[in-house]
Structure 1
Amino acid sequence: MGLSTVAIIGRPNVGKSTLANRFCQSREAIIHDQPGVTRDRTYQRGFWCNSEFNVIDTGGIVFNDDSEFFPEIRNQANIALQEAQVAIVVVDGQQGITAADESIAEFLRGHKCPVLLAVNKCESPEQGLSMAAEFWSLGLGEPFPISAIHGAGTGDLLDKVVSYFPNEKAVASSDEQPIRLAIIGRPNVGKSSLLNTICGENRSIVSPIRGTTRDTVDTYVERENHRWQLIDTAGIRRRRSVDYGPELFSINRTFKAIERSDICLLVVDAIDSVTEQDQRLAGRIEDEGRACIIVVNKWDAIMKDSHTMATMEKDFRNKLYFLDWAPMIFISALTGQRVQSLFSIAKIVLEQYRRRVTTSVVNEVLKEAIGWRSPPSNRGGRQGRIYYGTQVATSPPSFTLFVNDPKLFGETYRRYIERQIREGLGFEGSPLKIFWRGKQQRDAERDLSRQYSYLNNH
């Protein structure tokens, strides 16, 4: 049995995302005064007393406007209500009852899900009760006066929420942590369409309008005998095109998604080819040390022959030369072509990302590399020497090479050694980190260690 679920719904700008963050003690949901910031349904993990539960934050429901995203937002709210054991409808106590609140109350009567009424923005305990009393007329039961931003009254609301949960304790299906797969790319390359195709449902709103996705949308699926956490992210435009507000917050969430991921799916557009912004995103992924798969989307829209894929891959790799270690796959999120193959590739990439090799194997590769190409010498005739190397970390695989003087090894030779390690040891789909340590560094560290031991013992 999985965790119970709470859906938070209401009209725009009543504080739904603030309440979701309050329940989950987080700042994951984007909060801004502008209406319509939240669009997709987003999931977080909430805790109260001895209960752990999922919290679904939804976009603001509007019934008298079918423009832009409002029909899709209503559909996302419907799905959330079908998943939830209890729903919280949030209203604004300072504004009082509106026609939109009455429409939502009528809409909820068509659902079997139990509903609790939270009257938000009731910061004053004395005035809060009188402000909440007005909402009895909605016919949704007892109104709870709360302040989502300050936390007042949310404890009483949560006591009522958990009373709707089944008594049985949730049993985890597996102790295995999910593999975090972040879907990264520019706006309108098909990130949300890819997520929806994987899930087989409209998990994220898809629109030709740039910036449709704002929050990072986490979804869990089972593939290849593993549990995967898919993170759909906002498209990232060039910095000079971004204004302060929801889009800037979305971009920050995207960067955080890269940091917390195991593997990044860098989605690029087969029609537009690789742009400067794609290159910047690829550089960000490499800098963060994350495994990567290059996903070329919209393959169905390309006129092609037997040479098209090879020609296009060569062109894409030339432009993304610093990700030459990342596998590339051509897909169509629209038709589903090769989409499910992503998981078999990701499984192999993850194994390489977490793989560790013995010191003896590392040194065999280094010995062969030095045999083919000796380390360079400086103008004074002093030649670089590599004494030995060892792997010091995984995720990403990291190696320390012990040498006589790191300054004797230029970028060209360092890249050569990295290529030899890749050719000899693999690590496809994973960046490598190589640290060059000289004799002076080792001596200094050893002296510091001895001083530290002396001070501890005297």
Structure 2
Amino acid sequence: MSKPIIAVVGRPNVGKSTLFNTLAGEKISIVEDTPGVTRDRIYADVTWLDNSFTLIDTGGIEPVTSDMMLKHMRSQAELAMETADCIIFLTDVRQGVVDADYQVADMLRKTAKPVVLAVNKVDSFDKYMPDVYEFYNLGMGDPYPISASSKLGLGDMLDAVYEVLGENAGGEEEDERPKIAIVGKPNVGKSSLVNKLLGEDRVIVSDVAGTTRDAIDTYLKVNGTEYILIDTAGLRRKSKIKENIERYSIIRTVAAIERADVVVLMIDATEGVSEQDAKIAGLSHDRGRGLIIAVNKWDAIEKDDHSTKKYTDEIRKVLSFVPYAGIIFISAKNGQRTGKVFEMIESVIANHAMRVQTGVLNEIMTEAVAMQQPPSDKGKRLKLFYMTQVSVKPPTFVLFVNKKELMHFSYQRYIENQIRQTFGFEGTPIRILIRERKQDGM
């Protein structure tokens, strides 16, 4: 089951970013030490008691001038409506209920999304509670008094969020069909590829508006298998907002990747790999999704005998943190090699769900240790005892060792490479969890 997405919405300067940073703590989700992926505070994974969710920060999309305010508030609310399962509507007790709060409330009322009203900057309940009651006038239910900076009242607010999520979660069953998200920057050719994939001998089962994120999911059948194509930002333009702000398309992409099994990242051959492409690849890796890189507009490139190799090397260099990703060169416009995309998707889905027998795994581990001795530190050598696979999507292994701190990341990568050499696992990340186990007799 994908994590619920919760957006924080409100007019400027009510403390949205403070609330986001308080809830997110240090757990900023885009992999921080990955080359080419800047540390970005657009979204974060948050765990509250036994629940985890993805928090979207709509703070930062704030207008510089007052006449831009309404336009930005509207775009921010629309964005939250499209991607979120629940919205935290943040207000400011010090300023009281202002006209802009009523305007935000009107926008949120028009959505079918559950809303929890939070009143921020309540540093003292005794002092400010009479002012909190004024927020009942917004007609958005009970106002929850909080202080994002002092971390007061956050528990009650999150309990309310999970209460409304629970009420709204009952009707949806998990769909077992493989989900494919076709993502990339605006104007990279996502719509053209989807149309090509839906054409020819493919059977479209139905077009249904997705229940959770307002994304249009298209069901199609290829070689007897049904798939769900998740529509992202590029496929429809409900809003007339200019989408030159990359932040908007990234937030929609987060929602799509959250639900997908396999991500097809489209890159514009005429522009090369951009910083946003690297962010999306990092996000897919972080979420453990299968990954295919489709280099589109390949027909527009002047080529020689080495063009494909040179371009592949460049992608591998910039996206060095996803060396397992499959790469395919296509032209969605004229259909060049688009037929091969589904062959690749089928292969990645199989690899993403592959299980390896424990006996075979331990043979690989023993051979790997024989070929390259484990690292040692201060006379103490790392010992590898046993390895087993604990889950799939992505394939996840537990490796039992004598001392966790002796396991160097380079040796862990060496073990991963040995597994990949035997089983391939093209297109899917592999997770290896290190656990300590005392040796018998020690």
TM norm structure 2: 0.54
Q: Which residue of 2 aligns with 1:300?
A: 299
Query: C-alpha distance in 2, partners of 1:318/1:248?
Result: 25
Q: Which residue, 367, 385, 388 being the options, matches 2:386?
A: 388
Q: Which residue of 1 aligns with 2:263?
A: 264
Q: Which residue of 2 aligns with 1:371?
A: 370
- AA aligned to 1:412 is S
1:253 CA displacement = 3.4
**C-alpha distance 416-338 of structure 1, shift in aligned 2 (>3 A):** same
Partner deviation per Cα, 1:12-35 (whole Å, 9 max, x = no partner): xxxxxxxxxxxxxxxxxxxx9859
Q: Which residue of 1 aligns with 2:276?
A: 277
Q: Which residue of 1 aligns with 2:105?
A: none
Query: C-alpha distance in 1, partners of 2:334/2:244?
Result: 35
Determine if contact 2:291/2:427 at 8 Å carries over to the other structure: yes
Determine if contact 1:290/1:396 at 8 Å carries over to the other structure: yes
Query: C-alpha distance in 1, partners of 2:215/2:225?
Result: 22
Query: C-alpha distance in 2, partners of 1:372/1:261?
Result: 38
Query: C-alpha distance in 1, partners of 2:73/2:217?
Result: 24
Structure whose alpha-carbon radius of gyration is higher: 1
1:433 CA displacement = 0.4
1:306 CA displacement = 2.3
1:185 lines up with 2:181 in the alignment:
no
Determine if contact 1:193/1:334 at 8 Å carries over to the other structure: yes
- AA aligned to 2:302 is M
User: 1:26-425 residue pairs with structure 2 within 5 A?
Assistant: 177-200=176-199, 216-234=215-233, 251-378=250-377, 380-425=378-423
Partner deviation per Cα, 1:319-339 (whole Å, 9 max, x = no partner): 111111111100001101111
**C-alpha distance 435-243 of structure 1, shift in aligned 2 (>3 A):** farther
Determine if contact 2:243/2:249 at 8 Å carries over to the other structure: no
Query: C-alpha distance in 1, partners of 2:246/2:415?
Result: 41
Partner deviation per Cα, 1:221-270 (whole Å, 9 max, x = no partner): 111221111112126xxxxxx99999866543321210111100011111
**C-alpha distance 306-369 of structure 1, shift in aligned 2 (>3 A):** same
- AA aligned to 2:326 is P
Query: C-alpha distance in 2, partners of 1:221/1:349?
Result: 18
Q: Which residue of 2 aligns with 1:432?
A: 430
Determine if contact 1:215/1:233 at 8 Å carries over to the other structure: no
Determine if contact 1:292/1:326 at 8 Å carries over to the other structure: yes
Q: Which residue of 2 aligns with 1:208?
A: none
Partner deviation per Cα, 1:285-314 (whole Å, 9 max, x = no partner): 000000011100001101112221122111
Query: C-alpha distance in 1, partners of 2:283/2:73?
Result: 30
1:412 CA displacement = 1.3
**C-alpha distance 176-344 of structure 1, shift in aligned 2 (>3 A):** farther
For residue 331 of structure 2, give the secondary structure of its aligned residue in structure 1.
Answer: coil
Query: C-alpha distance in 2, partners of 1:197/1:182?
Result: 15
Query: C-alpha distance in 2, partners of 1:219/1:336?
Result: 20
1:420 CA displacement = 1.1
Query: C-alpha distance in 2, partners of 1:247/1:423?
Result: 38
Query: C-alpha distance in 2, partners of 1:336/1:359?
Result: 43
Partner deviation per Cα, 1:110-151 (whole Å, 9 max, x = no partner): xxxxxxxxxx99xxxxxxxxxxxxxxxxxxxxxxxxxxx99x
**C-alpha distance 249-277 of structure 1, shift in aligned 2 (>3 A):** closer
**C-alpha distance 413-33 of structure 1, shift in aligned 2 (>3 A):** closer
**C-alpha distance 187-249 of structure 1, shift in aligned 2 (>3 A):** closer
**C-alpha distance 440-234 of structure 1, shift in aligned 2 (>3 A):** farther
For residue 252 of structure 2, give the secondary structure of its aligned residue in structure 1.
Answer: helix
Determine if contact 2:219/2:229 at 8 Å carries over to the other structure: yes
- AA aligned to 2:382 is G
Query: C-alpha distance in 1, partners of 2:256/2:295?
Result: 20
Determine if contact 2:290/2:349 at 8 Å carries over to the other structure: yes
For residue 279 of structure 2, give the secondary structure of its aligned residue in structure 1.
Answer: helix
Q: Which residue of 1 aligns with 2:15?
A: none
For residue 391 of structure 1, give the secondary structure of its aligned residue in structure 2.
Answer: strand
Determine if contact 1:224/1:343 at 8 Å carries over to the other structure: no
Partner deviation per Cα, 1:26-73 (whole Å, 9 max, x = no partner): xxxxxx9859x99xxx9xxxxxxxxxxxxxxxxxxxxxxxxxxxxxxx
Query: C-alpha distance in 1, partners of 2:438/2:255?
Result: 37
Determine if contact 2:402/2:439 at 8 Å carries over to the other structure: no
For residue 293 of structure 1, give the secondary structure of its aligned residue in structure 2.
Answer: strand
Query: C-alpha distance in 2, partners of 1:326/1:179?
Result: 18
Determine if contact 2:186/2:249 at 8 Å carries over to the other structure: no
Higher relative contact order (CA 8 A, sep 6+): 2
Query: Gaps (5+ residues) in structure 2?
Result: 1-71, 83-109, 112-138, 141-173, 205-212, 235-240
Query: C-alpha distance in 2, partners of 1:398/1:368?
Result: 20
For residue 381 of structure 2, give the secondary structure of its aligned residue in structure 1.
Answer: coil
Query: C-alpha distance in 1, partners of 2:421/2:435?
Result: 23
For residue 323 of structure 1, give the secondary structure of its aligned residue in structure 2.
Answer: coil
- AA aligned to 1:305 is D
